């Protein structure tokens, strides 16, 4: 092909220089080319079906003074009519003149096909120019054009492949399919980066990895891809420091062996630290909450995370004054350690109500779990039973008391009930509930048992927590505690007869009780 043909191809609907690059490698529909001077400029003609056709850039179709009454060939991209319109009314991207054609000219053609269009530019019925299409032959596809450009370039010739990617991006600005060509250029750069990253990993080539990271920033403006490329465990030295500075300046942090956006890294660190804390370690939850508050600027939902840590710590130790301060609760006196072991056999006894809950055999007392008392299994990291007194000002129906306790549970994340069971209790009524919820991304299971003596105006609630593998054993312990629990009826004070009863006479030789001090 002559020099004029190459000049001509620059403005064709196929990106510039495309046609000239590919025509030598693929058959063309014309048999020969020749040049002729028109307007003091050499123009290229092709011979097709024994006729000569002037090769023109698609943009010259707008020059009516030059293009009128000429037989031309140009390269264009097919634009099919919208659904529901006449299928013969096809369009060509970049061609604004009316098209006149037979339906057979577009047979087996689809949207986006590149075509060599042979046409006569002539006056229409209204004396304006129109394009009467004589034939449309297939031209190399966009993909074929790019592949031809890559032919002969070795896979590890990074600069050569990137040069093709740059060329594709340049052609995008001259193509009607601009977005598709820009995307193709980006895909070529991504392929080079992926291949270079893999090659650097295989040979532990720090310099090549640094180049790949730089291409992510400079050619794609994609720090996320740079972070993925740089997330290797073998990189060290000066190169590692350079990459670290660049990624940190872009808002990334290294956590768990991977570079991540800072917010994602800190969120993952919080979740990992939260999950690793022993559920009885209130101090660790407190320190995690303080860390969360300190990093609130970079940690999404920092207040929620801190509240979660403090609340969990408060359940581990309600007397931890650091946690109470953060939650706006009044300080408490007494020990605030995470565990207070009181030895086995230490039953819970409430002097005011007379309630007695016997500790399970071989278990330990741990009142920092919450409620009024706590029992823990020394052979388990999770098994515990918490005793909570529920005083009531007046006699209340058992179902009302029960619903109040259940409502407090339903606020937990993903709460669901597994079933409830009525339980016999000599002093009144009892019921038991199995349920589960999610905490820290893990499912927790538990049971609640409630015993109520309406005459004593007090209920006793037992909350058992455990893992699946120890469920049967802990449920047996909970049943045993419930059966041995004592909620006595109230006892009238000595020396004070019930209201309305007749005066009682004193036994002979018995003095009346002295009046209270200061009553005289």
pLDDT at residue 112, rounded to an integer? 82
Instruction: Phi first, then psi: give them for residue 325, nearest 5 degrees.
Output: -65, -45
pLDDT tens digit sequence for 229-279 = 999 999 888 999 999 999 999 999 999 899 999 999 999 999 999 999 988
- pLDDT category of residue 381 using cuts at 50, 70 and 90: confident
Q: How many CA atoms lie within 13 A of 196 on its CB side?
A: 28
Q: 455-470 burial, b if ≥16 CB within 10 A, otherwise e?
A: ebbbbbbbbbbbeeeb
Using a pLDDT cut of 90, give the percent of the chain over it. Answer: 38
Question: Whole-number mean pLDDT of the chain?
Answer: 82
**What does the pLDDT read at residue 354?**
78
Taking only the tens place, the pLDDT of each residue in 272-304 is 999 999 888 888 898 899 899 888 989 999 999
pLDDT at 83: 60
Residue 447 phi/psi, 5-degree rounding, is -135, 145
Return the pLDDT at 9.
Answer: 37
Distance CA 312, CA 441 (A): 14
Of 7 and 326, more confident: 326
- Residues in a beta bridge with 53: 46
- pTM as predicted: 0.52
Strand-pairing partners, residue 259, are: 254
What pLDDT is recorded for position 164? 95
Mean pLDDT to the nearest integer, 437-457: 86
Q: What is the DSSP string of 323-356?
A: HHHHTTPPP--S---S--B--TT--EE-TTT--E
Strands 458-466 and 442-453: antiparallel
Which whole number is the average pLDDT over 152-166? Answer: 95
Identify whether the C-beta of residue 58 lies closer than 8 Å to the C-beta of residue 64.
Answer: no
Name 504's Cβ contacts closer than 8 Å, sequence gap at least 6: 497
- Quick one: which H or E segment has residue 201? helix 178-203
Beta-bridge partner residues of 146: none
Q: Which residues contact 120 (CB under 8 A, 6 or more apart)?
A: 70, 71, 72, 131, 132, 134
What does each C-alpha distance from 138 to 1, 61, 103, 208, 516 come to in angstroms? 19, 20, 16, 41, 116
Residue 494 gets the label, from left (phi > 0), alpha (psi -120 to 50) or beta, of beta
Gap between the Cα atoms of 318 and 430, Å rounded: 27
145 and 137 Cβ atoms separated by less than 8 Å? no
Say if residue 14's pLDDT is above 50. Answer: no
In the three-class reduction of DSSP (H, G, I as helix; E, B as strand; rest coil), residue 157 is classed as coil
pLDDT above 70 (res 56): yes
Listed in sequence order, the residues at least 6 apart from 29 whose beta carbon sits closer than 8 Å to its beta carbon are: 48, 116, 135, 137
Q: Which of 151-165, 390-404, 427-441 has the highest mean pLDDT?
A: 151-165
Please give the Cα distance from 34 to 50 (Å, whole number): 13
Segment 172-181, tens digit of pLDDT: 887 777 888 8
């Amino acid at each position: 092909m002559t020099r004029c043909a190459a000049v001509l191809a620059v403005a064709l609907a196929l990106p510039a220089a495309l046609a000239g690059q590919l025509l030598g490698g693929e058959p063309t529909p014309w048999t020969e080319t020749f040049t002729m001077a028109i307007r003091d400029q050499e123009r290229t003609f092709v011979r097709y079906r024994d006729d000569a056709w002037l090769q023109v850039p698609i943009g010259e179709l707008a020059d009516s003074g030059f293009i009128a009454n000429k037989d031309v060939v140009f390269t264009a991209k097919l634009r099919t009519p919208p659904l529901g319109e006449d299928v013969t009314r096809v369009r060509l991207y970049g061609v604004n003149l009316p098209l006149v054609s037979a339906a057979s000219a577009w047979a087996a053609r689809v949207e986006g096909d590149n075509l060599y269009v042979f046409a006569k530019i002539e006056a229409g019925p209204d004396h304006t120019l129109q394009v009467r299409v004589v034939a449309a032959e297939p031209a190399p596809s966009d993909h074929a054009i790019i592949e031809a450009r890559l032919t002969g370039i070795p896979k590890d010739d990074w600069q050569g492949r990137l040069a093709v990617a740059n060329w594709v991006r340049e052609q995008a600005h001259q193509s009607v399919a601009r977005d598709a060509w820009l995307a193709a250029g980006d895909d070529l750069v991504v392929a080079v980066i992926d291949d270079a990253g893999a090659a650097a990993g295989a040979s532990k080539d720090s310099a090549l990895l640094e180049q790949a990271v730089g291409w992510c920033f400079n050619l794609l403006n994609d720090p996320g891809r740079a972070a993925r490329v740089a997330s290797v465990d073998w990189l060290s030295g000066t190169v590692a420091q350079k990459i670290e500075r660049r990624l940190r300046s872009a808002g990334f942090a290294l956590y768990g062996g991977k570079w991540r956006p800072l917010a994602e890294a800190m969120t993952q660190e919080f979740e990992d630290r939260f999950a690793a804390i022993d559920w009885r370690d209130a101090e660790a939850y407190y320190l995690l909450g303080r860390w969360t508050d300190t990093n609130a600027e970079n940690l999404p939902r920092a207040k929620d995370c801190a509240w979660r840590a403090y609340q969990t710590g408060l359940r581990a130790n309600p007397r931890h004054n650091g946690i109470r301060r953060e939650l706006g609760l009044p300080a408490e006196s007494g020990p605030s350690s995470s565990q207070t072991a009181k030895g086995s056999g230490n039953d819970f006894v409430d002097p005011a109500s007379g309630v007695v809950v016997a500790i399970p055999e071989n278990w330990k007392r741990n009142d920092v779990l919450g409620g009024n008392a706590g029992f823990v299994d020394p052979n388990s990291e999770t098994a515990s039973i918490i005793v909570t007194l529920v005083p009531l000002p007046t006699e209340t129906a058992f179902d009302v008391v029960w619903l109040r306790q259940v409502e407090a549970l339903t606020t937990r994340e993903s709460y669901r009930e597994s079933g409830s069971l009525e339980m016999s209790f000599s002093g009144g009524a009892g019921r038991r509930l199995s349920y589960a919820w999610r905490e820290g991304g893990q499912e927790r299971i538990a049971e609640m048992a409630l015993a109520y003596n309406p005459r004593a105006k007090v209920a006793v609630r037992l909350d058992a927590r455990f893992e699946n593998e120890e469920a049967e054993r802990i449920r047996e312990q909970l049943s045993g505690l419930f059966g041995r629990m004592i909620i006595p009826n109230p006892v009238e004070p000595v020396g004070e007869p019930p209201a309305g009863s007749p005066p009682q006479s004193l036994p002979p030789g018995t003095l009346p009780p002295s009046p209270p001090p200061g009553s005289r």
